[in-house]
């Protein structure tokens, strides 16, 4: 069995229609609100998803995050993360 794969750099991810990104001020954390389910996001996942607006392709998202977080392995990790969310049906 293989692990999650990275996505094409020209894909322009956007949250699926049934998914909403919210910030919980009480817990100071980002959430994905789905039908009958809430997913608590950890680390910089919310920052990544805020860039998933259908206008930015994966390459632009990686470039933006690499500029914000020099030295972080965003080129390796972000495409795989987005691929996981796409496989869940949370991104289109």
Express each pLDDT in 34-47 by its tens digit: 999 999 999 999 99
Is residue 78 classed exposed, middle or buried when 0-12, 13-18 and 19+ CB atoms within 10 A define those classes? buried
Longest dimension (CA), the chain: 40
CA angle 61, 21, 27 (to 5 degrees): 110
Rg of the chain over Cα atoms, rounded to whole angstroms, equals: 13
What confidence tens digit (pLDDT) does each residue in 5-30 have? 778 889 999 999 999 999 999 999 99
80: three-class secondary structure by DSSP: helix
| Residue 89 DSSP code | T
| Residue 7 DSSP code | P
What confidence tens digit (pLDDT) does each residue in 46-81 have? 999 999 999 999 999 999 999 999 999 999 999 999
pLDDT the model gives residue 1: 41
Strands 20-24 and 37-40: unpaired
């Amino acid at each position: 069995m293989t692990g999650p794969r990275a996505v094409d750099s020209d894909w322009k991810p956007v949250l699926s229609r049934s998914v909403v990104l919210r910030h919980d001020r009480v817990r100071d954390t980002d959430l994905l609100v789905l039908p009958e389910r809430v997913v608590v996001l950890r680390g910089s996942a919310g920052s990544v998803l805020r860039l998933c607006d259908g206008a930015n392709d994966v390459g632009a998202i990686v470039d933006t995050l690499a500029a914000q977080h020099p030295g972080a392995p965003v080129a390796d990790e972000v495409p795989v993360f987005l691929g996981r969310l796409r496989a869940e049906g949370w991104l289109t």
